[in-house]
Structure 1
Amino acid sequence: MTLTTGLLPELLPELLPGVLDDASVFGRFRRTAGRFPDRPFLAVLPETAQVYGIEPGEISYGAMLEAVEARAALFSQAGYGAGHRVAMLLQNRPDFLINWFALNALGVSVVPINPDLRSAELEYLIGHSEAALVVAIPERVAELAAAAEAAGTGSGSIAHVITPHDLIPAPPRPAANRDAAPDRATECALLYTSGTTGRPKGCVLANDYFLLAGEWYATVGDLCALHVEPAERMLTPLPVFHMNAMAYSVMAMMTVGGSICILDRFHPRSWWASVRGFGATVIHYLGVMPAMLMSAPPSPADRDHKVRFGFGAGVDRTLHAPFEERFGFPLLEAWAMTETGAGAVVIASTEPRKIGTSCFGKPGPEMDIAIRREDGSEAGTDEPGELLVRWAGPDPKRGFFREYLKDAEATAAAWAGGYLNTGDVVSRDADGRFHFIDRKKNVIRRSGENISAVEVEAVLVTHPGVRQVAVAPTPDPVRGDEVVALVVPENPPADEAAARRLAEDIVRFCLSRLAYYKAPGFVAFVSSIPLTSTEKIQRGALKIAVEEAIASGRALDTCAMKKRTA
């Protein structure tokens, strides 16, 4: 059975019996496990098992349900219930899902921890979330215990830190209501934003956020159609402590009775072996992945797989069509945010997808959208503006985050004017399809011209001497801002003269493809670009790196090359 696009909620029970009755993430898993007990739910490939030191193999829905219910019983006996939060640093291991589902069954919210965080960040997260317990891999217990003690100093409420195999201690405070049955409004998770430009904000997400994400994915259809029969097999290398894998990948497979394989991370050399070994029918990707896969020599085995489509964002527009031609399946570009969930998600799953542009599709009727100029007026066709979104039904916030924890001011600002203000600059073409331009805060304003950092990066990265690149502004006394490019070269220049030659070649390359004012006025060669765990540029850290490059004199001045030609 293939689920088709445009399904109305009243048709869902016929295709997915009982789906609208699900009151929680655990409730949906239990229902699906009752329907397909012998189907595989979670697969651990040998390469991932080796990294984590765990057993490879597949875990059926029925076996997973037994493990979850046993774990839930232990948490319940220890006294955990509604009103508690439990933080988890468990990477992409099966233990993450087991503990999440078990705690969700009791109405306990989970706080996923990015393993890249260190002491000060961990102290903030544990303290701000008021986590009653931290469950972590053994290697991080001591560090987390120190962070928990520092966070609890003065509050008298220090969270315990345990591994998934330790006895569960009693919580430092009683549950608000242990007899309350979780429902769609119950808090399910607290996901923190990246915090690249300030303190991370904690997005409070209810069960409905996750359930609706699964329902959306199960019914979006067209090129993104999922099957109930035969069962889907989804492979993702994305971190399950972020919304893509946690809300979309896991919830989609749980909703349609599919199997999910979560790699420890993306391994370009073994990627296709993993795809074939798992028998993946759907893959999730980040923008950097197609570029890395395309850099490998073509092989007769390039189309030796079962993948029907990829779901992701940020593919290099110059590589989009060549990738699909070479590997034989579409890469479906999508847009969403942690704050929007499935309340506002767009995907280019219908033709024309306008490959080679930044098109991410046409919004569905469930979304109410505005594109606003800086003065607040509505932008015209092909005119850039900030994307504002809300649910089109009676509850405009349905499927969205509930609030930023302990930050009513930021929550109100995000919803100013009755829409979620996304901070993304987009345009709408004559066909009603949307095109991503950049984050509003990443737009460089030079001599009255708005320059998209993402657009410049997309061009510079195609230069044969550039491995990675990130673009940011530096203050200019005449022009307001000037464009700076931090470049990780394919081969580091041997000396200053070689660096100058490469920098000028990169700028000439850019000038041949973009308006003169968009080309870098400064180029600095670096060993690495500051990235998040999902391979996105850390714009806050990038700004500091640019300031340091300019102040130290390491940035080569190429401003004289930027001359108006028309």
Structure 2
Amino acid sequence: MKTEWLLAPAQRTLPALLQRQARLFGARPFLAVPGAEWTHSDAADVAARRAGALSAAGVTQGDRVAVMCSNRAEFLETVLACGWMGAASVPVNSACMGPQIQYLLADSGARLLVIEAAFLERLQTADLAASALESIWVVGGDASAWPATIGPARVHAWPAAGAALPPAAVQPSDTFAILYTSGTTGPSKGVLCPHAQYYWWGVNSADVLGVREDDVLCTTLPLFHINALNTFAQAAIAGCRVHFLERFSASGFWPAMGRTGATVVYLLGAMVPILLAQPAGPGERDHHVRIGLGPGVPEAAGAAFRERTGVLLLEGYGSTETNFVIATAPDSPRRGVMGWLRPGFEARVVDDADNPLPAGEAGELVLRASEAFAFASGYFGQPEKTVEAWRNLWFHTGDRVVRDADGAFRFVDRIKDAIRRRGENISSWEVEQVLMAHPAVASVAVVPVRSELAEDEVLAAVVLREGERVTPAELATFCTARLPRFAVPRFIALLPELPRTENGKVQKYKLRERGVPAGCWDRSAGGTERRAP
């Protein structure tokens, strides 16, 4: 790890990071995102001036500001301005529909929502009465088409930047952002990400990838995820350039890499098989990409990708609550593993009572950091969930892994009842609640099953009420209006009953082990769902 990246503990904050890059890298090209191009010195000025606009709207230190945008300049402006003035941004997944938006706004207590005009109509199915929302800033679109108020909030066009606000005296422990991750037995939880955690995400990711000053980072992943959001921090720390593209396109991926001059890329597990399914073309070799990050990419797919494109993809492990704690390297002795523990972290594989297990035996992965506030501070407004996850002073990941004799960690499966599809965490509980709202449904259990893309797919096992008739296709349509696209079940099985214990609890493990039943309805028949975010 480069010593010049290691800032003093008190300097591990966003304002200090932006001021450092302006001082060290100045007019060097820094960032390109739809709607803007910045130099390194621009970043601090943009943050300060947008913070001035937030302050003029009544936002103060400690407030929360929700932001629901695609990859565009206004998203980054809002997040940086919040960090600059000591407020906390609340990124909202752009696939969220009305019920999820309603929950996130009420749970976070956000006073302001920055939302892209294309998503504004989703608020029509959200009851905002229970939220603390006072104002809505709409990005893009025709202002005359917007209502004056939505629920309790006044609607305004995205305002001009304000007078530059001096940086707040934020501490490394202060909350930088609240990132909502999947609920497993209940609604999604807001992860309290402190400034120092965001700093360490950037440092660790840049170190794993060997980021240099002359690199060009390029990501098509959404900025509301920590994967893409910390790409900004990598470039700010290393003094290089970063391109945030609007979205992933299988056919447009390599042309975009060539056009931007990308040298470092960021992919998710399902994206690699999708790219490999494309016809081979000259663009796969006519590029400058030297390395990529590819967590969750199957070993065979990673090898085929390197053979076709010349790009080595590194595996790694981290979560919104933790950091980049486990990774492979270009010179790792073998592939097909999550990687080896990185400096500054501790890891154990434990049994149900948190007792350490020997190498070769599967158990839950638990983690902790040696640096202050390198992990999340807990779950917003849920102290009992925080204590549960961080019990015995270790963060419990809910992932079952094996530590081999050489120290490498191998992923086995998930302990928690969560599903990960197309790079998105899906709460089975939330999908079940939507299906249970259908008048024909008596009971339902949602579980992950493996897909041909070596990731999770969503299977809903449904029992209908006596005398009711409904088709799987009708249930899928019902879900489409109420769930993000990636969370709508691909497989829907109509069953006479669900497997249960003597106490009546659904035995989901039996459904998981059974997999997709023969003749099960498949929403993606014909390949229409073979997409990535």
TM-score bucket (shorter structure): 0.7 to 0.9
Q: Deviations over 1:162-201 (max 9, x none)?
A: 12584789xxxxxxxx996112122111111133652010
Residue matched to 2:382: 407
Find 2:457's aligned residue among 470, 474, 482: 470
The Cα shift of 1:337 comes to: 0.6
Residue matched to 1:225: 210
Structure 1 residue identity aligned to 2:24: R
The Cα shift of 1:329 comes to: 1.7
**Given the alignment of the two structures, is residue 187 of structure 1 paired with residue 175 of structure 2, yes or no?**
yes
Residue matched to 1:101: 80
**Given the alignment of the two structures, is residue 433 of structure 1 paired with residue 408 of structure 2, yes or no?**
yes
**Given the alignment of the two structures, is residue 370 of structure 1 paired with residue 348 of structure 2, yes or no?**
yes
For 1:162-173, what aligned pairs fall within 5 Å after superposition?
Answer: 162-164=137-139, 166=156
The Cα shift of 1:441 comes to: 3.4
Looking at structure 2, the residues matched to 291 and 384 of structure 1 have their Cα atoms a distance apart, in angstroms, of 28
Contact 2:351 2:363 in 1 (8 A): yes
Residue matched to 2:253: 271
Name segments (4+ residues, structure 1) moved above 6 Å: 471-475, 532-535, 549-552
Residue matched to 1:561: none
**Given the alignment of the two structures, is residue 387 of structure 1 paired with residue 365 of structure 2, yes or no?**
yes
**Alpha carbons of 1:421 and 1:40: their partners in 2 closer, same or farther (altered >3 Å)?**
same
Contact 2:493 2:517 in 1 (8 A): no
**Alpha carbons of 1:296 and 1:353: their partners in 2 closer, same or farther (altered >3 Å)?**
farther
Looking at structure 2, the residues matched to 111 and 250 of structure 1 have their Cα atoms a distance apart, in angstroms, of 17
**Given the alignment of the two structures, is residue 135 of structure 1 paired with residue 114 of structure 2, yes or no?**
yes
**Alpha carbons of 1:66 and 1:352: their partners in 2 closer, same or farther (altered >3 Å)?**
closer
Q: Deviations over 1:373-413 (max 9, x none)?
A: 335433222221100111145x5xx3111111111111111
**Structure 2 gap segments, 5+ residues each:** 141-155, 160-165, 420-446, 463-472, 499-515, 521-533
**Given the alignment of the two structures, is residue 208 of structure 1 paired with residue 196 of structure 2, yes or no?**
yes
The Cα shift of 1:235 comes to: 0.8
Looking at structure 2, the residues matched to 179 and 39 of structure 1 have their Cα atoms a distance apart, in angstroms, of 22
Looking at structure 1, the residues matched to 333 and 244 of structure 2 have their Cα atoms a distance apart, in angstroms, of 28
**Alpha carbons of 1:159 and 1:548: their partners in 2 closer, same or farther (altered >3 Å)?**
farther
Looking at structure 2, the residues matched to 436 and 534 of structure 1 have their Cα atoms a distance apart, in angstroms, of 27
* Higher alpha-carbon deviation: 29-38 or 139-148: 139-148
Q: Deviations over 1:393-444 (max 9, x none)?
A: 5x5xx31111111111111110112211100011011211011111113699
* Higher alpha-carbon deviation: 143-152 or 187-196: 143-152
**Alpha carbons of 1:550 and 1:338: their partners in 2 closer, same or farther (altered >3 Å)?**
farther
Contact 1:332 1:347 in 2 (8 A): yes
**Alpha carbons of 1:179 and 1:93: their partners in 2 closer, same or farther (altered >3 Å)?**
closer
Structure having the higher Rg: 1
**Structure 1 gap segments, 5+ residues each:** 50-54, 170-177, 445-452, 463-467, 476-487, 489-525, 559-566
Residue matched to 1:457: 450
Find 1:323's aligned residue among 305, 311, 316: 305
Structure 1 residue identity aligned to 2:175: E
Looking at structure 2, the residues matched to 107 and 24 of structure 1 have their Cα atoms a distance apart, in angstroms, of 10
Looking at structure 1, the residues matched to 262 and 307 of structure 2 have their Cα atoms a distance apart, in angstroms, of 19
Residue matched to 1:39: 28
**Alpha carbons of 1:365 and 1:27: their partners in 2 closer, same or farther (altered >3 Å)?**
closer
Equivalences, count: 443
**Given the alignment of the two structures, is residue 114 of structure 1 paired with residue 93 of structure 2, yes or no?**
yes
Residue matched to 1:518: none
Q: What is the CA RMSD across the aligned residues, in angstroms?
A: 3.6
Looking at structure 2, the residues matched to 550 and 277 of structure 1 have their Cα atoms a distance apart, in angstroms, of 55
**Given the alignment of the two structures, is residue 241 of structure 1 paired with residue 252 of structure 2, yes or no?**
no
Contact 2:25 2:40 in 1 (8 A): yes
The Cα shift of 1:471 comes to: 7.4
Residue matched to 1:29: 18
Looking at structure 2, the residues matched to 113 and 145 of structure 1 have their Cα atoms a distance apart, in angstroms, of 17
Residue matched to 1:61: 40
Looking at structure 1, the residues matched to 355 and 13 of structure 2 have their Cα atoms a distance apart, in angstroms, of 40
**Alpha carbons of 1:263 and 1:179: their partners in 2 closer, same or farther (altered >3 Å)?**
closer
Looking at structure 2, the residues matched to 353 and 315 of structure 1 have their Cα atoms a distance apart, in angstroms, of 18
Looking at structure 1, the residues matched to 250 and 233 of structure 2 have their Cα atoms a distance apart, in angstroms, of 26
**Alpha carbons of 1:179 and 1:218: their partners in 2 closer, same or farther (altered >3 Å)?**
closer
Residue matched to 1:507: none
**Given the alignment of the two structures, is residue 83 of structure 1 paired with residue 72 of structure 2, yes or no?**
no
The Cα shift of 1:225 comes to: 0.8
Looking at structure 2, the residues matched to 461 and 272 of structure 1 have their Cα atoms a distance apart, in angstroms, of 20
Structure 1 residue identity aligned to 2:218: L
Structure 2 residue identity aligned to 1:327: T
Question: How high is the TM-score relative to the length of structure 1?
Answer: 0.70
Structure 1 residue identity aligned to 2:345: M
Contact 1:33 1:65 in 2 (8 A): yes
Residue matched to 2:430: none
**Given the alignment of the two structures, is residue 312 of structure 1 paired with residue 267 of structure 2, yes or no?**
no
Contact 1:75 1:168 in 2 (8 A): no
**Alpha carbons of 1:442 and 1:546: their partners in 2 closer, same or farther (altered >3 Å)?**
farther
Find 2:394's aligned residue among 405, 416, 419: 419
Give me the identity figure in percent. Answer: 29
**Alpha carbons of 1:443 and 1:274: their partners in 2 closer, same or farther (altered >3 Å)?**
closer
**Alpha carbons of 1:388 and 1:473: their partners in 2 closer, same or farther (altered >3 Å)?**
farther
For 1:541-560, what aligned pairs fall within 5 Å after superposition?
Answer: 546=492, 548=494, 555-556=517-518
Looking at structure 2, the residues matched to 194 and 124 of structure 1 have their Cα atoms a distance apart, in angstroms, of 13
The Cα shift of 1:534 comes to: 11
**Alpha carbons of 1:420 and 1:23: their partners in 2 closer, same or farther (altered >3 Å)?**
closer
The Cα shift of 1:331 comes to: 0.5
Structure 2 residue identity aligned to 1:457: R
* Higher alpha-carbon deviation: 311-320 or 199-208: 311-320
Contact 2:84 2:168 in 1 (8 A): no
Q: Deviations over 1:195-214 (max 9, x none)?
A: 36520101111111111112
Structure 1 residue identity aligned to 2:260: F
Structure 2 residue identity aligned to 1:194: S
The Cα shift of 1:339 comes to: 0.7
* Higher alpha-carbon deviation: 61-70 or 127-136: 61-70
Residue matched to 1:497: none
SS in 2 for 1:374: coil
The Cα shift of 1:69 comes to: 2.4
Contact 2:346 2:369 in 1 (8 A): yes
- The structure richer in helix per residue is 1
Contact 1:239 1:534 in 2 (8 A): no
SS in 2 for 1:306: coil
Residue matched to 1:348: 328
Structure 2 residue identity aligned to 1:352: S
Structure 2 residue identity aligned to 1:470: E
Q: Deviations over 1:441-488 (max 9, x none)?
A: 3699xxxxxxxx98x836x558xxxxx97376979xxxxxxxxxxxx9
